[in-house]
Amino acid sequence: MKSLLLRKVGPLIGGVLVRGNADAKIGNVATRNNHKITKDTLVFYREKLKVPTNLPSCIIVTDQKKVEAFFPTSYTIVYVKNVWVAFYKFIHYYRKMFRIPVIGVTGTCGKTTTKEMIAHILSPEMNIVKTVLSQNGLSHNLNYLLEINDKTDAAIIEMGVNSPGHILQTASYFKPTIGLITTIGTDHLQGFKNHHEYFKEKESMLKAVHPGGTMILNADNHYSRKLKTNKFKGKLIYIGESDFADYKILKMKYDQAGMKYMIGNRGRIYVGYVPGFGKHNVYNAVFSIAAAGLLGIDVNTAIERLKTYKPVQRHLELSPGINNSTIIDDTWNTNPTSIEAALEVLEQVSKEKKSIAVLGDIEELGAHSQEEHQKIGTLIVKHNIDYLITIGDQAKEIGTKARQLGMDPNSIYSVKHEDHLMRILKNHADKNTIILIKTSMRNSFRGLLSKLKG
């Protein structure tokens, strides 16, 4: 983080120096037990927060009286009326120190890939701060914010949701100047009363972006088209196959190890390639091209850089499998929207070959679990999957629906034990078999992939 002085920060957070050095340097900030507390850390102290007492110096911000007895005399003590109000005053102050573009990326799926693609395009000429993989929980916000300093040119923040208010809370840290919603489908319903509430949470991204900023939206997504954009005080950019898209996807085609695509923008036609299978990857690529364009990277340069992009591990990752089969590893996470994308890839990649889908329970669906799992059964039939193997009691509903729609019952399996799954796959897998493993693996067989990959 940028080094600060308590003399400057203290008054801004409403602090009163009780003991210690007003010229103390601030080199780090902590609010949780998983935050690193070292010399010169500004600690927003609350009960149950474990603060080491063997440091040469430390700054304690507290709304609890008489806590100075808890800490060595070398520690500086600052009193505030409310420690959380003081903390939020600090993050607002820290963020305002930097006049840089901040891209906030949300969506039911595609967040991590799009964020990584944007960073891949920008990194050759910019110092970028970005979220790590899919680690987008609120507990990570402070650490990411503090990575921004005077050398940072731009930040790309993945904004996930588990319950109402998460997007605006993340936005309070980063104040995005550019917002991006990849797609809106079904996920994390356990934290919401219904899908409409989940949709409204995604819609709050329009409020999260700084006035005068830019929103990049999916022109083809049913729910994205329902967003109330009339009150958004900024610029709107659309990507997709729809005629009104600013970055119009004209063609998409599966290639040997990725996707070829053609897009139109401002009267010009561009041809590109992106490593990684699936039409959704083309959308992710075009989103990243549009975002990079707002930071001065022309379309040709962005397309050229995407050719060397390396897909995120466990995101539709192909590898050799048992009995000379091919494994599609999509086990990073799972939700109905990403399952549909994975099944589309399985269907395309397995043409002239046997297709097997191994699907685990979809988590965090709450009361909508049965309904959403049955929708996946419909997709299994739609994409002509040859064999279905489900893991878990909830995922069993996928097979029930597929059977109702006419799929051969002898091609549907429900398993609870890893050895049962392995026996089925060994019996069916050969060199002409493509096996999709689609599950978050949180409650599924942890050692499965190592046994399946050749």
Q: Tokens standing for 323?
A: 């009995």
The domain 317-452 is placed in CATH, from the list 1.10.760.10, 3.40.640.10, 3.90.190.20, 3.30.420.40, at 3.90.190.20
pLDDT for 441 equals 53
At residue 210, φ and ψ (nearest 5 deg) are: -55, 135
Q: What percent of the chain has pLDDT over 70?
A: 98
Nearest residue to 303 via CA among 257, 261, 347, 343: 261
CATH 3.40.1190.10 is right for the domain spanning 98-306: yes
Q: What are the residue boundaries of the structural domains of the chain, listed by start?
A: 4-88, 98-306, 317-452
pLDDT for 367 equals 82
pLDDT for 191 equals 80
* Cα 198 from Cα 201, distance rounded (Å): 5
Q: Cα-atom radius of gyration of the chain, to the nearest Å? A: 25
Q: What is the pLDDT of residues 239-263, one digit of tens each?
A: 999 999 999 999 999 998 999 999 9
Q: What is the pLDDT of residues 226-242, one digit of tens each?
A: 999 998 999 999 999 99
> Bigger pLDDT: 187 or 220?
220
3-state secondary structure 165-191: CHHHHHHHHHCCCEEEECCCCCCCHHH
Nearest residue to 256 via CA among 277, 285, 271, 270: 277
**Secondary structure letter of residue 7 according to DSSP:** H
pLDDT band at 444 (very low <50, low <70, confident <90, very high): low
List, as one string, the DSSP characters of 349-371.
Answer: HTTTSEEEEEEEPPPS-GGGHHH
pLDDT for 47 equals 85
pLDDT for 443 equals 57
pLDDT band at 193 (very low <50, low <70, confident <90, very high): confident
Q: Tokens standing for 294?
A: 């707002």
**Secondary structure letter of residue 410 according to DSSP:** G
pLDDT at 5 exceeding the cut of 70 = yes
